[in-house]
Amino acid sequence: MIVLLAVSALGLDRLVNARGFQLYGGITPRVETSAKVVALTFDDGPDPAGAGPLLDTLAEAGVPATFYLTGRELAQHPELGARIAADGHEIGNHTYSHERMVLVSPDFVAREIEDTDALIRATGYAGEITFRPPNGKKLLALPRYLAEHERRTITWDVEPDSYPDVAASPARIVDHADEHVRPGSIILLHAMYPSREQSLRAVGPLIERLRDRGYEFVTVSELLAHEGR
């Protein structure tokens, strides 16, 4: 019995954390394509500590990105959300509170997503709003809600600053991304908080490195349109 419980727990943990599988609806960790296109995505925020410099770097490079923002921080810093939209970036939903979306009720899921959608629209952003669960975790209520509303879950396949030894240095972040990226990749970075200065400093060099390899940067919605091409 103990062994069966342990196996069941392991299976549940894998399901909760799986980047490419969920029980309902569509989930995308990367896009199958032969085109050398990648999506650069940023989670959390917007936070004033790094939002401005990050947006300046992207503007200077002429790169569109996708920002998965929390409703709570959008409510605190609406001017930053408005700038992200005005600069032509895509905005995705990362829940309101950044709570783990695992053992939660359908009503909680609906509030977290719908309140954040409203704040995203208030920025002036008019495009598709894709969804990314905090820490990539999901189980039943969240995927079911998304499937019922024809919303896609976007995860990632390259996450250089998720590893402490890599995240300690901009050069390591760039090298890790360069080593793991492939056509259709979705790159995850956290670059707006004071504790993420190394990630912020890595953005410019990472763009330069991948461009030198012939990659084009697109938003998540644009990347999805390359599926099978």
Q: What is each CA distance from 135 to 22, 128, 138, 156, 217, in whole angstroms? A: 14, 21, 9, 11, 23
The single residue of 77, 94, 176, 190 carrying the catalytic annotation is 190
Higher pLDDT, residue 200 or 229: 200
Place of tokens 């939002």: 51
Q: What integer pLDDT is reported at residue 4 of this predicted model?
A: 37
Place of tokens 């950044």: 98
Cα separation, 140 vs 101, whole angstroms: 9
Q: Is 44 a catalytic residue?
A: no
**Percent over 70 (pLDDT), the chain:** 96
Q: Is 43 a catalytic residue?
A: yes
- Give the up-direction half-sphere exposure of residue 162: CA atoms within 13 A in the CB hemisphere: 12
Model confidence at 229, pLDDT cuts 50, 70, 90, reads: confident
Cα separation, 76 vs 31, whole angstroms: 33
The single residue of 43, 44, 115, 157 carrying the catalytic annotation is 43
Kindly tell me the burial class for residue 227, based on how many C-beta atoms sit within 10 Å of its own C-beta (0-12, 13-18, 19 or more).
exposed
In the chain, alpha helices (H): 2-17, 51-61, 71-76, 78-86, 106-122, 141-148, 164-167, 170-180, 197-212, 220-224
Amino acid at 175: D
- Residue 6, pLDDT above cutoff 70: no
Q: What integer pLDDT is reported at residue 8 of this predicted model?
A: 58
What is the architecture, at CATH level 2, of domain 2-224?
Answer: Alpha-Beta Barrel (3.20)
Model confidence at 1, pLDDT cuts 50, 70, 90, reads: very low
Cα separation, 10 vs 31, whole angstroms: 28
Cα separation, 85 vs 125, whole angstroms: 5
Cα separation, 210 vs 64, whole angstroms: 14
Helix (H, G, I), strand (E, B), or coil: what is residue 77? coil
Domain chopping of the chain, boundaries: 2-224
Task: Specify the pTM.
Answer: 0.93
Q: What is each CA distance from 91 to 20, 106, 118, 128, in whole angstroms? A: 21, 23, 12, 8
Residue 120 contacts residue 80 (beta carbons within 8 Å): no
Amino acid at 64: P
